[in-house]
Amino acid sequence: MANIQSLTVEQLRKVVAIKEVIERLEAQLASIAGDGALAAAPFKRRRRKMSALAKARMGAAQRARWAAIRGDKTAPEKKARKRRRFSAATRAKLAASAKARWAKVKATGKSTL
């Protein structure tokens, strides 16, 4: 908001009129809803839901940790995840877009994106 000293008389009159309207509306709201209704209700946090799969993963990981601490030989082994590979066409598109991006950057004289 602008400094009050820099406002003109007309602007100050508008500010006063707006404040009066706001005060009247707040008084009407308080008379209708009561004084306690304007107080903000406390925010209640909602608990996050976890999927059954996530719970199972966490349980398996914890069992594996405990088995490693106890020295059990029956600790489940981690499965190696199968790597997803791009097709040759997708690799070519990605390479072309990267080259175009770098050409644009180098044209502006920069050495980093």
Supply the pLDDT for residue 31.
85
Quick check: is 65 in a domain? no
Query: Longest Cα pair distance anywhere in the chain, in angstroms?
Result: 86
For 39, residues 6+ apart whose C-beta sits below 8 A from its C-beta are none
Stated as kind and residue range, the H or E segment containing 89 is helix 88-107
Dig out the tokens for 71 from the structure: 């020295």
Quick check: is 26 in a domain? yes
Tens digits of pLDDT across the chain (113 residues): 567 788 888 999 999 999 999 999 988 888 887 765 555 667 788 888 899 999 999 999 999 999 888 886 665 667 777 888 999 999 999 999 999 999 999 999 887 77
Quick check: is 44 in a domain? no
When divided into structural domains, the chain yields a total of 1
Q: Tell me the residue range of the domain where 31 lies.
A: 4-38
Quick check: is 19 in a domain? yes
